[in-house]
C-alpha cells in the first residue's frame, strides 16, 4: 500500500470524503454491537419476563435461570446471536469497503520460516500480556478493596462448557470457539474493518482494528490480551496480504485455550482427602499444562531471537507512517460521532465488567 510522496492537508472536498468514509465504517461495529449485545439482551429480558411471569427484577432473573438451563435456548442466546452478529457485520463491511475476500484468502506472501516466526511472536505476546494482565487486575482489585474476591478462575473464564450439557451442545460450543468464531472474527477485524481503516494508513488501521478487537470482548480480563495479539495478527495480515495466517493462528490459540480449560473443568479438586483419586485425575491436567507451557516457552525464546536479529539488521520501520497518513486518520476517526459512541459504549462495558470478578 503506497501513499502520496508529497504531503498536503485535506482540502474541503477531501474533508467531506474522509468524514463520510469513517462514518460509513462505523456501521460495521454498530451492527456488531447492536446484535451481539443490545438485541441479545433485549430479547433475553423480554423472554425471561414472559417465562418468569412478570417484568419485575425477580421474575426476570427467575426466567433467565430457566432459559439458561434449557440447552436449546442457551445455544441460541450464547452462540446464535454472536454468529448472527458476526455474519451481519461482515455483510455490512463487505458492502461498505468492497473488500475482495477471495483475494484475502489467497496463499499468504510468506514462507514457512516467516510463518513459524509469526507463530512464535503470537504466542509469546499472548503469554506475556496475559501474565501482565493478571497482575494489573490483581492490583485493581486490591485498590478497590476487593482482593479477597479475586480468583484466577474468574480472569480465565474457566467454564466454557458447563457440565450436564447434551453432547450436541458441547460440540456446538467447541465448533464456535475453536473454528467458526475465529474465522468470522478474522474476516471482520483483520478483513473488512482493517481494510477500511488502513485506507489512509497501515499503522492506524492495525492499531485501531486491534483496539476494537480487544474492546469487543467487553471483558476486562480479555481486553488487553486480545488487543496485543490483534496487533500481531493485523501486522501479519498487512504484510502477508492474506488472512490465512491470522485465521490459522486464531484457531490454534482458541483451541489450545479450550483444551486446557476443558481439562481443568474435568478435574475435581473438591475431595482433597482422596489423594490417589486426585493424583489420577490431575495427570491429564499436568500433561496438558506441561505441553502448552513448553510450547509457549519455545515461542518466547524464538521471539527473542527474532527480535535480536531484527534489531541488529538494517531494517526500517515495521509499518511506515508520514504526514499524509497522520492528517487523514487519527483526527477524523476521533472526531467522528458514531465512532466516539461505539468506543464509549465498549469502554463502559469493559470497565464495568470488573464487577464480574468480584
Confidence tier at 158 by pLDDT (50, 70, 90): very low
Question: 92 is written with which cell numbers?
Answer: 455490512
Distance, CA of 47 to CA of 41 (rounded, Å): 10
**Spatial separation of the C-alpha atoms in residues 52 and 57, rounded to whole Å:** 10
Q: Which of 21-30, 42-51, 150-159, 287-296 has the lowest mean pLDDT?
A: 150-159
What pLDDT is attached to residue 343?
A: 96
For residue 94, count other CB atoms closer than 10 A to its CB: 17
How many angstroms separate the CA atoms of 298 and 293, rounded? Answer: 9
Residue 190 has pLDDT above 80, yes or no: yes
Residue 281 pLDDT class (50, 70, 90 cuts): low
pLDDT of residue 261: 83
User: 107 in helix, strand or coil?
Assistant: coil
Cell numbers describing residue 79:
452462540
φ/ψ bin of 321: left (φ > 0), alpha (ψ from -120 to 50), beta (otherwise): beta
In-domain check, residue 69? yes
5: in domain? no
pLDDT, tens only, 311-326? 777 666 778 778 888 8
- What is the pLDDT at residue 148? 63
In a domain, 4, yes or no: no
Q: Which residue has the higher pLDDT, 280 or 184?
A: 184
pLDDT for residue 313: 73
Contact 106, 100 (CB under 8 A): no
Residues of the chain above pLDDT 70, percent: 87
pTM, two decimals, is: 0.89
Is 156 a residue whose pLDDT tops 70? Answer: no
> Closest Cα to residue 246, out of 235, 258, 257?
235
- Considering only CA atoms, give the Rg of the chain: 22
- pLDDT of 304 above 60: yes
Query: Can you tell me the distance from the alpha carbon of 152 to that of 119, in angstroms, rounded to the nearest whole number?
Result: 26
- What does pLDDT average to over the chain? 86
Give the Å distances, CA to CA, from 95 to 90, 170, 191: 9, 34, 13
Q: Does some domain include residue 3?
A: no
Residues 64-84 have a mean pLDDT of 85
Counting the structural domains of the chain, the total is 1
- Residues 84-123 have pLDDT tens digits of 999 999 999 999 999 998 899 988 878 888 899 999 999 9
Answer yes or no: is pLDDT of 1 > 90: no
Cell of 51: 417465562
CA distances from residue 121 to 131, 182, 233, 298, 301 in whole angstroms, order as listed: 15, 18, 10, 10, 10
According to DSSP, residue 217 is labeled: T
Residue pLDDT, tens place only, 248-278: 999 999 999 888 888 777 666 555 455 565 5
Residue 271's CB is within 10 A of a number of other CB atoms, namely: 10
Dig out the grid coordinates for 40 from the structure: 441479545
With respect to residue 11, please indicate whether it lies within any of the assigned structural domains: no
Residue 221, number of CB atoms within 10 A of its CB: 23
Residue 268 pLDDT: 61
> Domain range holding 236?
18-357
Domain assignment present for 7:
no
The answer to the question of residue 6 being in a domain is no
User: Which DSSP state fits 162?
Assistant: -
Eight-class DSSP state of 184: H
Residue 170 in any domain: the answer is yes
Give the integer Cα–Cα distance in Å for 254 and 260.
10
Band (157; pLDDT cuts 50, 70, 90): very low
Angle at 24 between CA 22 and CA 27, to 5 degrees: 110
Give the model confidence (pLDDT) of 167-189 as tens digits. Answer: 888 888 889 999 999 999 999 99
For residues 79 and 68, give the distance between their C-alpha atoms in angstroms, rounded to a whole number: 12
User: What letter would DSSP give residue 179?
Assistant: I
Angle, alpha carbons 216-84-88 (nearest 5°): 80
> Could you tell me which residues come within 8 angstroms of residue 271 by beta carbon, excluding any fewer than 6 positions away?
277, 278
Residue entry with cell 482427602? 273
Determine the pLDDT at residue 224.
94
Look at 163 and 196; give whichever has higher pLDDT.
196
User: How many residues in total does the chain contain?
Assistant: 358
Amino acid at each position: 500500500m503506497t501513499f502520496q510522496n508529497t504531503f498536503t492537508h485535506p482540502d474541503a472536498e477531501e474533508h467531506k470524503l474522509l468524514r463520510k468514509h469513517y462514518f460509513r465504517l462505523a456501521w460495521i461495529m454498530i451492527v456488531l454491537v447492536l446484535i451481539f449485545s443490545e438485541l441479545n439482551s433485549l430479547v433475553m429480558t423480554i423472554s425471561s419476563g414472559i417465562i418468569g411471569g412478570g417484568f419485575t427484577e425477580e421474575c426476570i432473573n427467575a426466567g433467565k435461570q430457566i432459559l439458561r438451563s434449557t440447552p436449546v435456548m442457551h445455544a441460541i442466546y450464547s452462540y446464535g446471536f454472536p454468529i448472527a452478529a458476526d455474519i451481519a457485520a461482515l455483510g455490512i463491511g463487505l458492502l461498505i469497503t468492497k473488500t475482495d475476500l477471495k483475494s484475502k484468502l489467497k496463499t499468504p506472501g510468506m514462507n514457512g520460516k516467516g510463518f513459524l516466526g509469526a507463530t512464535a511472536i503470537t504466542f509469546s505476546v499472548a503469554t506475556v500480556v496475559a501474565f501482565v494482565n493478571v497482575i494489573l487486575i490483581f492490583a485493581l482489585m486490591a485498590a478497590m478493596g476487593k482482593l479477597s474476591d479475586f480468583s484466577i478462575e474468574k480472569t480465565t473464564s474457566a467454564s466454557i462448557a458447563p457440565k450436564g450439557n447434551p453432547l450436541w451442545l458441547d460440540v456446538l460450543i467447541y465448533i464456535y470457539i475453536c473454528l467458526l468464531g475465529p474465522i468470522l472474527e478474522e474476516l471482520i477485524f483483520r478483513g473488512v474493518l482493517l481494510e477500511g481503516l488502513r485506507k489512509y494508513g497501515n499503522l492506524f488501521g492495525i492499531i485501531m482494528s486491534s483496539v476494537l478487537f480487544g474492546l469487543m470482548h467487553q471483558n476486562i480480563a480479555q481486553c488487553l490480551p486480545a488487543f496485543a495479539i490483534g496487533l500481531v495478527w493485523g501486522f501479519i495480515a498487512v504484510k502477508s496480504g492474506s488472512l490465512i495466517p491470522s485465521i490459522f493462528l486464531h484457531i490454534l490459540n482458541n483451541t489450545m485455550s479450550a483444551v486446557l480449560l476443558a481439562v481443568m473443568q474435568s478435574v475435581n479438586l473438591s475431595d482433597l482427602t482422596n489423594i490417589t483419586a486426585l493424583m489420577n485425575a490431575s495427570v491429564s491436567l499436568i500433561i496438558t499444562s506441561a505441553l502448552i507451557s513448553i510450547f509457549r516457552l519455545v515461542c518466547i525464546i524464538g521471539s527473542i531471537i527474532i527480535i535480536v536479529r531484527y534489531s541488529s539488521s538494517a531494517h526500517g520501520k515495521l509499518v511506515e507512517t508520514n504526514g499524509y497518513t497522520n492528517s487523514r486518520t487519527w483526527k477524523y476517526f476521533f472526531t467522528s460521532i458514531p465512532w466516539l459512541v461505539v468506543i464509549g459504549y465498549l469502554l463502559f462495558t469493559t470497565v464495568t465488567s470488573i464487577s464480574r470478578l468480584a
